[in-house]
Amino acid sequence: MSTGAALKRALALLELHRPDEALRHVHTAITSEPGNAALHALAGHAYLQLGRFQDALRAGDAAVACGPELATGHQVRSVALLKLKRAPEARQAALFATRLNPELAYPHVVLANALQAAGDEAGAIAAARHAVELEPEDADTHATYGEILLEQDRPAEAIEAFSRALALDPEDADALNNLAVARLRSYQRDGVGEQFEAAARLDPRLAEARENLLHTGPAGRAFVYRRFSAACALLALLLVPGASGGTVAFLLFAAVFELVRALTVRRLTAGTRRLLADDRRARRLKPLRWDWTWPLRLRPWWWLLLAEGFRSARRHRRRTRDGSWRPPA
């Protein structure tokens, strides 16, 4: 197979999320043409899909060594470094990519993520906006802009960006999941569970959508009711030796919580009920998979007021900050 054919085949396989097969084609081509930077960059993208970030970084290094004037190698390096929690180096690699290809949107998308990780929030917003200006009909640029806004606690603006991304690509599961998260943070709870479920159906590999579906809305309440019923039953057992009335009271509480949970689960869709049952089986008697943080998600009104005050203070500090990255003129 020629190098061009191997590249096309590997790209098609990556689009289908089959990185192992793509790597086999790329490695065969690299054996016959080891100095081809595009092949090394493609291998880096496959490693990124597999979550093998150290290997992706090595592939990016090889791409840069073979073709330092090509932006693709620098982009792979930036994403890999970002995943490896090396934000300053990721920022530097992304800046190289944007200087080499300033007219393309994707290098600015990579730069926006790198700047956000490096703490330059205003620069990240500027880079994401510039990517949208370069490719206004590309759903990924709007989705990236929404992600940056969401990370900066600006959910109302993020909702608009994710909505635009979904108007361009209605099957973007990540954007749909993030839209539901942004709506939750804006206290727009109606229909959020359905959006998480739709995102999980669009991309069964998207673990975030499944987790969000199972820990918010009615499914999340069912999760909490089960914990309360189990806690009450345990307390009742501990009080048995004393034969006190507390045993009966806690058993009654446990039964009430379990009844409420069962009624809540009945109102869920069949798909969500299956996910809930699978999640419960996966966690059973496996402490390493148990979620110990669920009480922290029960936030009363005073917690919400404090959180909103904190977010307002952060927004005010951002408005007064300067010295950030700006897109090239």
Distance CA 127, CA 111 (A): 7
φ/ψ bin of 205: left (φ > 0), alpha (ψ from -120 to 50), beta (otherwise): alpha
Q: Which long-range contacts (CB under 8 A, 24 or more apart) does 203-207 make?
A: 203/173, 203/174, 205/17, 206/173, 206/174, 206/177
Question: What amino acid is encoded at 128 in this protein?
Answer: A
Q: Tell me the two tokens of residue 178.
A: 């993030």
pTM: 0.75
Q: What is the tens place of the pLDDT at every residue in 195-240?
A: 988 998 888 888 888 888 887 778 888 888 888 898 888 888 887 7
Q: What is the mean pLDDT of the chain?
A: 85
Q: What is the DSSP letter of 268?
A: S
Whether the predicted pLDDT of 56 surpasses 80? yes
* Per-residue pLDDT band at 302 (split at 50, 70, 90): low
In sequence order, the 6+-apart residues with CB closer than 8 A to the CB of 232 are 250, 251, 253, 254, 257
Which pLDDT belongs to residue 78?
Answer: 96
Considering the chain, what percentage of its residues have pLDDT values greater than 70? 86
Q: How confident is the model at residue 3 (pLDDT cuts 50, 70, 90)?
A: confident
Hey, CA dihedral for 208, 210, 215, 216, is it positive or negative? positive
CA–CA separation, 52 vs 63, rounded Å? 17
Give the residue with greater pLDDT, 114 vs 194. 114
Nearby residues of 317 by Cβ (< 8 Å), 6 or more positions away: none
Q: Does residue 301 register a pLDDT over 60?
A: no
